[in-house]
Chain A
Amino acid sequence: MAVPVRTKSRRRQQLEEAALYPLDWVEERSGLVGALKYFLFRKVPGDISWGHTLGSATLTAFLVQAITGAILAMYYKPHPDTAYESIQYITNDVTLGWLVRGMHRWGASVFIILMFFHMARVFLYGAYKYPRELNWIIGALLLILGMFEGFTGYLLPWDQTAYWATVVGVNLQGTGPFLGPFLVNVLNGGAEIGVDTLSRFYSIHMLLLPGAIFALIGLHLWLVIRLGVTSQPWSPEAAGSGEPEEPRPAREGLVRPARSGGSE
């Protein structure tokens, strides 16, 4: 390879070395470059499909939420007297505030939908089976935390929908036997929704839950990398089924996998 470049090769080599030096520097001290390389060039089954992209799509939606949320926090004021006005200010007055808030608002729905789709995909593919049981449980936890993010975030605009949906939501959890009535006080920060409730929900919504979600996503991804992703169960060349009896030509997919024989 690189035959035509040979004339410039010395110069090019020097350039490459200069460019790679910082990477080598980092690698020598942290091993992170190697880890990234492992992540990028690890093998995945050759027949993975669009269904497998739902997980990373969910992650993208979550990152959109994290970034837009952090920016919204710069303008949002979590107090019953100011919250509604700050939402109006963000939506109507701040430059591009409507876009950031709109992305956060609709990103929430997209995030939840994608979590359900991702879960349905994993279920259909039987990807929760040995040895990936633990990752299913982490995923289920993430789903519940995600729903709680939705619940706590719904109060923040402090409008009628927000307030009353939260009243019902809190009282609903309060009907749990024995401990329910106490849970109400813990959630509300008092017997009823009061001055402290909004900042309480805000803290849970933007610090506690996202922290937990980030940590669990890290674990989730680590297990995916460690255990690999499953093939489509109906694929004739599914990994885990041994050599296919008669190798078929490459199946559908936007990019046809290069199956030129003998490269491995």
Chain B
Amino acid sequence: MVEPHGPEQQPHAPPPSLWPVGFAVGVAVLLTGIVVGWPVAALGAAIAIVFGFLWVRDLTGPAAAAGREPPPPVGARPATEAGHALPLADEGEIERFPRARFLEGATLGLSGLIGGLITLPVAGFAIVPTFVGQKHEDVDIGELDTFPEGEWQVVTFMEDPAEGEVSRRTAYVRNNGELEGQPSLTVLSNRCAHLGCPVQPSGLLDEDASETVETSNTVVTRIPATPAAFTCPCHGGAYDLEGNRTAGPPVRGLDRYEYEIRDGRVFLVGAYSVGSVQGEGKEALIKRYDLMNPGLHVDGPSAIMYPIGPRR
């Protein structure tokens, strides 16, 4: 809209205002809400009321009066007199217009609010779910009778069949015979305690005797083996048959799986980390800790660097 130039016309022009736009948006949302559902309608009504109020206040309040004041000619401000009706925006740096200060604060505050409203849920969405809801399935790896006493088997299974191949894991399993009437197994994880590489058995693998069996909740591949040690091909970690570190950089022993025997079947029901193991087989004394990520010390002086970790 082009204003005709001339001071006498200006007092009649309404002051520029965004409130009517907000009011219109509110009405539009209200109308949409009638179709979509009552919460939207309520939101629209609220918007319309708020902006309508502001609009009315704008037209009637002192701000409107200021708007009707003829704007000072550029470059030639009227001489400031004591008792001037309203301080003007260009009064100078020292005498700040309170409204401008309010707008400054409101702008920063609103920007911060928007930033927070966007960042918090997004960051939460990206980070929080990675710590919660870590579920552990109990994995059935077959009948206890199929693990001959004193012999090793390389057992490959899916930790969470619903996740599929990505949850495939390998454990080295040895049946130690019975201890006080209870069957005893050594179930070593094949993830290196250094940085998680796949640890290999040093010794014979009887691939021809490999068998794949379907258990109650996963498919298990089992290969009989006669390892003399376990070695890691990445950075040269080496372990004895109890999973104790014998050489190289691993910071602790091999992790172990917890097992339960249910109706003569072996279930893996979780895992734990191992500092070191004394003795062998069923007599082994295991220093066990909560499951930790590879590379983290569980005992010794270096363990103070990792006082807490997320549940795994």
CB distance from B308 to the nearest CB of A (A): 8
Of residues 168 through 188 on chain A, the ones whose CB sits less than 8 Å from some CB of chain B are: 168, 171-172, 174-175, 177-178, 180-182, 184-186, 188
Q: How large is the interface on B (under 10, 10 to 19, 20 to 34, 35 or more residues)?
A: 20 to 34
Of residues 86 through 116 on chain B, the ones whose CB sits less than 8 Å from some CB of chain A are: none
CB distance from B251 to the nearest CB of A (A): 8
A residues in contact with B308, CB < 8 Å = 181
A182 x B310 contact (CB < 8 A): yes
B residues in contact with A167, CB < 8 Å = 195-197
Given A178-B307, A185-B310, A195-B163, are A172 and B295 neighbors across the interface (CB < 8 Å)?
Answer: yes
A195 x B166 contact (CB < 8 A): yes
A residues in contact with B307, CB < 8 Å = 178
Stretch at the interface among B66-74, B127-135, B212-220: B127-135
Expressed in whole angstroms, the Cα–Cα distance for A180 and B198 within the complex equals: 21
Expressed in whole angstroms, the Cα–Cα distance for A195 and B158 within the complex equals: 13
CB distance from A80 to the nearest CB of B (A): 4
The verdict on A81 contacting chain B, using a C-beta distance below 8 Å, is yes
The verdict on A31 contacting chain B, using a C-beta distance below 8 Å, is no
* Interface SS, B side: loop
Given A175-B295, A181-B293, A181-B306, are A186 and B197 neighbors across the interface (CB < 8 Å)?
Answer: no
Q: What sequence of 0s and 1s flags, for each residue 130-171 of chain A, a beta carbon within 8 Å of any chain B beta carbon?
A: 000000000000000000000000000000000010011001
Expressed in whole angstroms, the Cα–Cα distance for A180 and B293 within the complex equals: 9
The verdict on A244 contacting chain B, using a C-beta distance below 8 Å, is no
The verdict on B75 contacting chain A, using a C-beta distance below 8 Å, is no
The verdict on A54 contacting chain B, using a C-beta distance below 8 Å, is no
Of residues 106 through 151 on chain A, the ones whose CB sits less than 8 Å from some CB of chain B are: none
Of residues 173 through 227 on chain B, the ones whose CB sits less than 8 Å from some CB of chain A are: 195-198
Expressed in whole angstroms, the Cα–Cα distance for A80 and B163 within the complex equals: 10
Closest residue of A by beta carbon distance from B133:
A190
Query: Which residue of A168, A180, A186 is within 8 Å of B130 (Cβ)?
Result: A186
A172 x B195 contact (CB < 8 A): yes
The verdict on B292 contacting chain A, using a C-beta distance below 8 Å, is yes
Q: What sequence of 0s and 1s flags, for each residue 270-281 of chain B, a beta carbon within 8 Å of any chain A beta carbon?
A: 000000000000
Expressed in whole angstroms, the Cα–Cα distance for A264 and B5 within the complex equals: 50
A81 x B164 contact (CB < 8 A): yes
Expressed in whole angstroms, the Cα–Cα distance for A167 and B234 within the complex equals: 12
Expressed in whole angstroms, the Cα–Cα distance for A194 and B295 within the complex equals: 19
The verdict on A191 contacting chain B, using a C-beta distance below 8 Å, is yes
Query: Which residue of B164, B165, B166, B296 is within 8 Å of A174 (Cβ)?
Result: B296
The verdict on A48 contacting chain B, using a C-beta distance below 8 Å, is no
Expressed in whole angstroms, the Cα–Cα distance for A167 and B235 within the complex equals: 14
Given A81-B164, A171-B293, are A181 and B309 neighbors across the interface (CB < 8 Å)?
Answer: yes
Expressed in whole angstroms, the Cα–Cα distance for A186 and B195 within the complex equals: 17
A residues in contact with B309, CB < 8 Å = 181-182
Expressed in whole angstroms, the Cα–Cα distance for A192 and B309 within the complex equals: 14
Query: Which residue of B126, B127, B131, B166 is within 8 Å of A80 (Cβ)?
Result: B166
B163 x A178 contact (CB < 8 A): no
The verdict on A103 contacting chain B, using a C-beta distance below 8 Å, is no
The verdict on B20 contacting chain A, using a C-beta distance below 8 Å, is no
The verdict on B79 contacting chain A, using a C-beta distance below 8 Å, is no
The verdict on B288 contacting chain A, using a C-beta distance below 8 Å, is no
CB distance from A95 to the nearest CB of B (A): 30
Query: Which residue of A168, A180, A191 is within 8 Å of B312 (Cβ)?
Result: A191
A residues in contact with B292, CB < 8 Å = 181
The verdict on A72 contacting chain B, using a C-beta distance below 8 Å, is no
CB distance from A5 to the nearest CB of B (A): 46
Residue from A180, A185, A195 whose CB has the most chain B CB atoms within 10 Å: A185
Closest residue of A by beta carbon distance from B167:
A194
The verdict on B2 contacting chain A, using a C-beta distance below 8 Å, is no
Given A81-B164, A172-B295, A190-B134, are A177 and B195 neighbors across the interface (CB < 8 Å)?
Answer: no
Of residues 49 through 107 on chain A, the ones whose CB sits less than 8 Å from some CB of chain B are: 80-81
The verdict on A210 contacting chain B, using a C-beta distance below 8 Å, is no
B165 x A80 contact (CB < 8 A): yes
Expressed in whole angstroms, the Cα–Cα distance for A58 and B305 within the complex equals: 39
The verdict on A193 contacting chain B, using a C-beta distance below 8 Å, is yes
B residues in contact with A177, CB < 8 Å = 305-306
CB distance from B263 to the nearest CB of A (A): 29
The 10 closest A-B pairs by CB, nearest first: A181-B309, A177-B305, A175-B295, A191-B312, A185-B130, A80-B166, A171-B195, A171-B196, A168-B195, A167-B196
Residue numbers of B with Cβ under 8 A of A are 126-127, 129-131, 134, 163-167, 195-198, 234, 292-296, 305-310, 312
Residue numbers of A with Cβ under 8 A of B are 80-81, 164, 167-168, 171-172, 174-175, 177-178, 180-182, 184-186, 188-195, 197
Between-chain CB contacts (< 8 Å), 13 pairs: A80-B166, A167-B195, A168-B197, A168-B234, A171-B294, A171-B295, A172-B295, A178-B306, A181-B292, A181-B296, A181-B308, A185-B310, A191-B312
A-B contacts besides A80-B166, A171-B294, 7 pairs, CB < 8 Å: A81-B165, A164-B198, A175-B295, A177-B305, A178-B307, A189-B130, A194-B167
